[in-house]
Amino acid sequence: MKTELIEKIKKIQLLILDVDGVLTNGKIIFNDQGKEIKVFDVQDGFGIVLFRKAGYKVAILSARSAPAVKMRARDLKIDKVCQDAYPKIKAYKKLLKEFKLKDEQVCFMGDDLTDLEVLGRVGFAVAVSNAVVEVKRAADYITKEKGGEGAIREVIELILKTQGRWRKIVQSFS
**Digit-coded pLDDT (tens) for 13-69:** 999 999 999 999 999 999 999 999 999 999 999 999 999 999 999 999 999 999 999
pLDDT at 166: 97
What architecture does CATH give domain 3-171? Answer: 3-Layer(aba) Sandwich (3.40)
pLDDT at 174: 87
Contact, 129 vs 114, CB < 8 A?
Answer: no
pLDDT of 137-174, one tens digit each?
Answer: 999 999 999 999 999 999 999 999 999 999 999 999 98
Q: Which pTM was predicted?
A: 0.97
pLDDT of 61-93, one tens digit each?
Answer: 999 999 999 999 999 999 999 999 999 999 999
Mean pLDDT of the chain: 97
Contact, 34 vs 41, CB < 8 A?
Answer: no
Structural domain boundaries of the chain? 3-171
In order of 11, 14, 38, 160, the CA distances from 170 in angstroms are 22, 21, 29, 11
Q: Which of 11, 6, 4, 24 is nearest to 112 (CA)?
A: 24
